[in-house]
């Protein structure tokens, strides 16, 4: 079923070879056809993440993908058409999506086809203009928090807290009743995580002995869990803040990978999606105003420029505006 206004062709940012940001160009492609278990999304905005750069470079290409490749793992928009078996959304619904596999192309396009199980209605409290930047990072942050398995009242340290996944993890952790120590980047990052409800907000670029001292003041026995959105020497030092038997979790892709050490369990995780995870995420988001911090927006035709911006540091997320 379709809304009758779906064209045969669309604009998309795509690539015909792997390489640097310059391989992504704007072109006209056919609008993908949907199967019975799929949804056609009219894309309003698409998130720009490091995984998109990995896809562009050829190091993380979803199964079944072929050139021309349209990148983009997540988006927000409206449902333009649904397959015959689809019951969770209807034509016209405003939705967000994290497309785990996307053989018919990603979301750097005016239209994209995706499995219905990856699609959820936009929850109350989530501003639609920034929703496209949220799905992959929010679902990955939720997977990380689930993996830590902490009870309400426990202390969690989030390193890289002002980044795309980190600033969402801060909000999701607070909604699960956790006490949050957010280690962010610079004064701007500290201000962001403070605004988002972190109990303690510290600058990871500052004196680490001082940072560890502040953490010990609030959690004398150490924090119960640590989510690391970045690796390296700062993380190695911050691991001292974990209590004996604490867990350090990090999303796959963090480099250098955190090393094992006595008394600390180190576990990697991936963002999980599907009806159950999407429902849980929506329930947590609807618990109050939820902010997706967008550092910069780019029109679809400037997708290559957005990928160049990815190589710099910024708080929050980058967003492609499509419709």
Reported as a single tens digit per residue, the pLDDT across 68-78 is 999 999 999 99
* 60 and 148 part of one domain: no
pLDDT at 1: 62
What pLDDT is attached to residue 253?
A: 85
Based on the fold, state whether residues 228 and 213 are members of the same structural domain: yes
Q: What is the pLDDT of residue 202?
A: 93
Say whether both 115 and 146 belong to one domain: no
**For 4-46, how does the pLDDT look when each residue is reduced to its tens digit (9 = 90+)?**
689 999 999 999 999 999 999 999 999 999 999 999 999 999 9
According to the model, what pLDDT value does residue 4 have?
A: 61
- Looking at residue 61, which CATH number applies to its domain? 3.90.180.10
Query: With pLDDT > 90 as the criterion, what percentage of the chain qualifies?
Result: 85
Q: How far apart are CA 185 and CA 193, in angstroms?
A: 10
Count how many domains the chain has: 2
Average pLDDT over residues 82-94: 97
* Better pLDDT: 139 or 128: 139
Shared domain check, 141 and 110: no
pLDDT at position 71 is 97
CA 10 to CA 279: how far, in whole Å? 31
Whether 2 maps to a domain, the answer reads no
Do both 216 and 145 map to the same domain? Answer: yes
Residue 166 has pLDDT above 90, yes or no: yes
pLDDT at 87: 96
Domain holding 185, by residue range, is: 137-269
Residue 301 lies in a domain: yes
Whether 253 and 308 share a structural domain = no
Q: Is residue 282 part of a domain?
A: no
- Residues 197, 129, single domain; the answer is no
Of the pLDDT bands very low, low, confident and very high (cuts 50, 70, 90), residue 262 is confident
Asked, for residue 276, whether it belongs to a domain, the answer is no
Decide if 201 is inside a domain.
yes
My answer on whether 40 and 16 are in the same domain is yes
Co-location of 203 and 96 in the same domain: no
| 142 and 127 in a common domain | no
- Both 146 and 264 in one domain: the answer is yes
Q: What is the 3-state secondary structure (H, E, C) of the chain?
A: CECCCCCCEEEEEEECCCCCHHHCEEEEEECCCCCCCEEEEEEEEEEECHHHHHHHHCCCCCCCCCCCECCCCEEEEEEEEECCCCCCCCCCCEEEEECCCCCCCCCCECEEEEEHHHEEECCCCCCHHHHHHCHHHHHHHHHHHHHHCCCCCCEEEEECCCEHHHHHHHHHHHHCCCEEEEEECHHHHHHHHHHCCCCEEEECCCCHHHHHHHHHHHCCCCEEEEEECCCCHHHHHHHHHEEEEEEEEEECCCCCCCCCECCEEEEEECCCCCHHHHHHHHHHHCCCCCCCCEEEEEEHHHHHHHHHHHCCCCCEEEEEECC
Residue that terminates a domain, selected from 269, 284, 302: 269
Residue 288 above 90 pLDDT?
no
Quote the mean pLDDT of the chain: 94
User: What is the pLDDT at residue 2?
Assistant: 61
List the CATH number of the domain containing 149.
3.40.50.720
Q: Is residue 287 part of a domain?
A: no
207 contact partners, CB below 8 Å, separation of at least 6: none
pLDDT confidence of residue 120: 98
pLDDT tens column, 215-255:
999 999 999 999 999 888 889 989 999 999 999 999 988 88
Whether 1 is covered by a domain: the verdict is no
Does residue 59 belong to any structural domain of this protein?
yes
Looking at per-residue confidence, does 244 or 261 come out higher?
244
The verdict on 144 and 235 lying in the same domain is: yes
């Amino acid at each position: 079923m379709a809304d009758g206004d779906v064209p045969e062709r669309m604009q998309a940012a795509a690539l015909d070879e792997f390489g640097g940001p310059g391989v992504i160009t704007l072109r006209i492609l056919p609008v993908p056809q949907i199967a019975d278990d799929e949804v056609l999304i009219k894309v309003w905005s698409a998130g720009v993440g490091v995984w998109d750069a990995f896809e562009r470079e050829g190091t993380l290409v979803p199964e079944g993908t072929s050139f021309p490749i349209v990148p983009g793992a997540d988006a927000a928009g409206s449902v333009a058409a649904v397959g015959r078996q689809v019951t969770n959304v209807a034509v016209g619904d405003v939705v967000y999506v994290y497309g785990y596999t996307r053989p018919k192309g990603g979301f750097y396009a005016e239209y994209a086809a995706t499995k219905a199980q990856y699609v959820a209605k936009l929850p109350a409290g989530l501003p639609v203009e920034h929703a496209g930047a949220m799905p992959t990072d929010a679902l990955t942050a939720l997977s990380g928090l689930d993996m830590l398995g902490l009870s309400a009242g426990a202390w969690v340290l989030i390193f890289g807290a002002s980044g795309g996944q980190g600033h969402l993890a801060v909000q999701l952790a607070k909604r699960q009743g956790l006490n949050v120590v957010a280690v962010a980047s610079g004064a701007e990052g500290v201000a962001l995580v403070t605004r988002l409800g972190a109990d303690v907000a510290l600058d990871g670029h500052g004196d680490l002995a001082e940072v560890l001292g502040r953490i010990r003041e609030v959690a004398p026995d150490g924090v119960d869990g640590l989510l690391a959105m970045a690796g390296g020497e700062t993380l190695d030092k911050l691991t001292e803040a974990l209590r004996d038997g604490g867990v350090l979790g990090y999303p796959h892709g963090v480099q250098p990978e955190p090393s094992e050490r006595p008394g600390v369990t180190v576990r990697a995780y991936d963002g999980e999606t599907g009806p159950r995870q999407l429902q849980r995420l929506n329930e947590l988001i609807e618990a109050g105003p939820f902010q997706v911090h967008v550092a910069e927006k780019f029109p679809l035709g400037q997708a290559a420029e957005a990928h160049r911006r990815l190589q710099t540091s910024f708080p929050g997320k980058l967003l492609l505006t499509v419709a």
